[in-house]
Structure 1
Amino acid sequence: MSSRSTDSVRTGLGAIDSERFDVMAAVGGWRGIVESVVPTLVFVVVMAVRPTALVPALLASLSVSAVGLVARLVQRQSPAQVLGGIVLVLVSALWAWRSGEASNFYATGLMINAAWLVACLVSLLVGWPIVGALMTLWHRVTDESGRRSDRSEDPDGDGEPKSTDDDPAVRPSSWRTDPALRGVKFRYHAGTWVLTLMFALRLVVEVPLYLAGEQAVSYLGAARLILGVPLYALTLWFIWLLVAPGRIAQAEGRTAR
């Protein structure tokens, strides 16, 4: 299993497979932060100023998300990130509007975090920690892309490198079964535990506030903002410290000896 490097700066969980960690790029840059945070911030502020103004708060939040989507489309940029956000805000707004309870604006987010928490725990239980699975997937794609490139440069097949899938020593998933790569396996498990703890912390803080009802809506909104992008960025950084290509290469070197 070989270490890999990348010259491009990835976003989201992809940032953990970069040689250097760019916190702003990892969370989508300033624009990504604005698109992720402002709709919730607007809802929180309106409800804090006027607790009975549920509908205006929902409309204001949806309007902010819509503006972000339109701006992306006008500038011919990928609307994927903001589109996912506006769908989440729309579902959350509909839930809160139909129930008449502002706290339900945050219910969808709680369910998503619970689903991720369960997924992380199950992945650890079955021996395919999510962080390791993602790294393996990215490396398989990289290997396959490299092999296609080699074949295009050598159409007759002469000198084509042996597929990494045929060699257990370099197969991207060999860390799961190769005793020599137990250090890599440990890092992938540790990284997944860090991700798991992020989702668990969100639920531990936010669920009691949600269950407290309308009197805790402002506190729930503040918790969602604090435990949102800031905690996500910090979590990605901790995971990167564990599983960055350089760290994985060092782990391979130590176990090989």
Structure 2
Amino acid sequence: MTDSPRRRPAPSRSGLGAVGAERYDAMAALGGWRGIAESVLPIMAFISVVALRPAALVPALIVSLSISAVGLISRLIQRQGVTQVMGGAALAVISALWAWRSGEASSFFTVGLAINAVWLVACLGSLVAGWPLVGVLLSLWQAAAGAGGDEGSGDSETQGPEQDPGAHDGGAEVEGSSGPWGWRADPAQREARRRYALATAVLAGVFALRLIVEVPLFLAGDSAVAALGVARIVLGLPLYALGLWIIWLLVSPLRRG
């Protein structure tokens, strides 16, 4: 008599992909301790140098970029997924160039504010159009999982835009749907549309709260750059993790049918 093979659990997903997982793993959603460090340390280093020496903009930028470079090189050497850290490094470089050209430390945060504004507009626009962004993304990942089968899952050690489509059992598939977009047209899936809309509103709230707090600090100029940096850290990963958890609570019942 042989034991039946154990079902391998779906890997934890990062970023927005975590909301379609079987269970919510906050640390995995943020990319683990390594992902957190790669996101937070460059900002902490920048605001620390500027706080100690307000005129030392270039050294602050160099220190911040150096930390991002170390994270990128480390992942390349270890042959780990680099999509997130490359995105972070690109953001750091653009932010540094913007601050260097303007000569103002507060300009280091301009690109991040713009990205939050774009995400907010995308969320609100999707709600107005009747295509809630969370539902659209989960449907795309579900379709990708169906197309990819069990041929691997990729790296789950990253956070942010990079997500792992995962296995069939980990997606937010709505029972009885006709294809990944069934929730859009099926009258019986009104509850799914409602939950996706609420989840998208929560995601929009995350970006809106960041802008509400950070924009006035940004407009205050270099005198508030330390407070802006702290706000960016506090309203970054902690708020993101909380928002993803609320979204997961909203959409997880759809997977269970």
TM above 0.5: yes
2:87 to 81, 84, 87: 84
**Distance between the aligned counterparts of 1:89 and 1:124, measured in 2?**
31
Residue 233 (structure 2) pairs with residue 248 (structure 1): no
Q: Who is 1:126 aligned against?
A: 129
2:180 to 172, 190, 196: 172
1:142 to 142, 145, 148: 145
Matched-pair identity in %: 58
2:100 to 82, 92, 97: 97
Deviation at 1:146, TM superposition (A): 4.8
1:234 to 242, 247, 254: 242
**Distance between the aligned counterparts of 1:237 and 1:249, measured in 2?**
15
1:219 to 227, 230, 248: 227
Secondary structure of 2:92's counterpart equals helix
Q: Who is 1:29 aligned against?
A: 32
Secondary structure of 1:137's counterpart equals helix
Amino acid at match of 1:66: A
Q: Who is 2:154 aligned against?
A: none
Q: Who is 1:188 aligned against?
A: 196
The structure that has the greater radius of gyration is: 1
Amino acid at match of 1:119: A
**Distance between the aligned counterparts of 2:10 and 2:99, measured in 1?**
44
1:202 to 210, 213, 221: 210
Residue 52 (structure 2) pairs with residue 46 (structure 1): no
Deviation at 1:114, TM superposition (A): 0.4
Structure 1 stretch displaced more, 72-81 or 230-239: 72-81
**Distance between the aligned counterparts of 1:9 and 1:36, measured in 2?**
19
More helix by share: 1
Q: Who is 1:3 aligned against?
A: none
CA gap 1:58/1:249 in 2 versus in 1, 3 angstroms:
closer
**Distance between the aligned counterparts of 2:150 and 2:47, measured in 1?**
51
**Distance between the aligned counterparts of 2:206 and 2:75, measured in 1?**
30
CA gap 1:189/1:68 in 2 versus in 1, 3 angstroms:
same
Any runs of at least 4 consecutive aligned residues in structure 1 with deviations exceeding 4 A, and if so which? Answer: none
Secondary structure of 2:34's counterpart equals helix
Superposition RMSD in Å? 1.8
CA gap 1:199/1:169 in 2 versus in 1, 3 angstroms:
closer
Deviation at 1:170, TM superposition (A): 2.8
**Distance between the aligned counterparts of 2:84 and 2:143, measured in 1?**
25
5+ long unaligned stretches in structure 2: 1-8, 152-175
